Amino acid sequence: MKKTRIFSVSNQKGGVGKTTTTVNVATALAALRKRVLIIDLDPQGNATVSVGLKRGYGRRNSYSVLSGLDRLKDSVLETEIPYLYVLPSSQELLGVDIELAGVEKPQFFLKNALENAEAFDYIFIDCPPAVGLLTMNALVASNCVIIPVQCEYLALEGVADLVKTIEKIKKHFNPQLEIHGIVMTMFDGRSNLSKSVVRDVRNFFGERVYETLIPRNVRVPEAPSHGKPVMLYDFRSVGAQSYVRLAGEILTREKEMNHE
């Protein structure tokens, strides 16, 4: 059987499009009948809400699974979208950095919890905007990282630190970890700044940057308030269409990496 592919969507900078990318790439792959799980590892719970579920819904959630209190398969919830499942967030995630400090191998909790995840083709972990133990757990449990970078001034700030963290985790905990790609978000084709940021990031990361640029599009921020991915809220919007293209590009890269 094909192995589950696990992606962390991570950037310690806030508001760069991690959750939007997680939710919409996951939805696009579910539409292709891939069995996809979103793990909402951010106490803010935005991914959970964006697929139409309530934050802190029920007792079982990403916190209880990470902590080993519940099993993954008992805790994932269906969404309205066929093939798309979510492990919802919980406020209790806020305590993880303190709770796991001093515990042996605190970076491995999520990896252990995902041992029996073969029911899914893809898992996308929406990381919080910080490089604490939650993000560490996500990176140790993942095959790859997708890094959303917003097309704005100081876009690369923090990304160099994230790359260093990824290298460290690769060396000490998870040798297979790779950067799958960098996705440029909230691109504004009329702005010289947007274009020069894309140039800088391509200079820095080369081919790791996906060709698909995600444009700034008003339908994207509207969608979560309707509890829907933008693909379902307004499929024809440029925001939705660009995420469909990005998902296609991710699958192509998967083939090139011999995982599809």
The 8 Å CB, 24+ separation contacts for 198-203 are 198/151, 200/155, 200/156, 201/149, 201/155, 201/156
45 binds, among Mg ion, ligand ATP, none (CB under 5 to 8 A by kind): none
| Binding pattern for the stretch 151-190 against ligand ATP, x by CB under 6 A and - elsewhere | ----------------------------------xx----
Single out the residue of 18, 34, 60, 228 in contact with ligand ATP (rule: CB under 6 A). Answer: 18
Interface positions, 27-66, toward ligand ATP (CB under 6 A): 42, 44, 46
3-class secondary structure for the chain? Answer: CCCCEEEEECCCCCCCCHHHHHHHHHHHHHHCCCCEEEEECCCCCHHHHHCCCCCCCCCCCHHHHHCCCCCHHHHCEECCCCCEEEECCCHHHHHHHHHHCCCCCHHHHHHHHCCCCCCCCEEEEECCCCCCHHHHHHHHHCCEEEEEEECCCCCCCCHHHHHHHHHHHHHHCCCCCEEEEEEEECECCCCHHHHHHHHHHHHHHHHHECCCCCECCCHHHHHHHHCCCHHHHCCCCHHHHHHHHHHHHHHHHHHHCCCC
Single out the residue of 3, 14, 82, 199 in contact with ligand ATP (rule: CB under 6 A). Answer: 14
Interacting stretch for ligand ATP, rule CB under 6 A, among 83-91, 138-146, 211-219, 249-257?
Answer: 211-219
| Binding pattern for the stretch 39-78 against Mg ion, x by CB under 5 A and - elsewhere | -------x--------------------------------
Q: How far is the CB of 16 from Mg ion (least distance, A)?
A: 9
Q: How many binding residues for Mg ion (CB under 5 A)?
A: 3
Interacting stretch for ligand ATP, rule CB under 6 A, among 11-19, 54-62, 92-100, 134-142?
Answer: 11-19
Closer residue to ligand ATP, CB minimum distance, 46 or 107: 46
Rule CB under 6 A: say whether 228 interacts with ligand ATP. Answer: no
Interacting stretch for ligand ATP, rule CB under 6 A, among 9-17, 87-95, 132-140, 163-171?
Answer: 9-17
Single out the residue of 8, 10, 19, 150 in contact with Mg ion (rule: CB under 5 A). Answer: 19
Q: How far is the CB of 126 from ligand ATP (least distance, A)?
A: 7
Rule CB under 5 A: say whether 18 interacts with Mg ion. Answer: yes
* CA atoms of 162 and 131, how far apart (whole Å): 8
Q: How far is the CB of 172 from ligand ATP (least distance, A)?
A: 26
Handedness of CA 237, 15, 212, 201 (dihedral sign): positive
Q: What is the rounded (10 degree) CA torsion for 259, 136, 123, 125?
A: -130
Residues found near ligand ATP in the complex (CB under 6 A): 14-20, 42, 44, 46, 129, 185-186, 214, 216-217, 220-221, 239
Binding residues for Mg ion, rule: CB under 5 A, are 18-19, 46
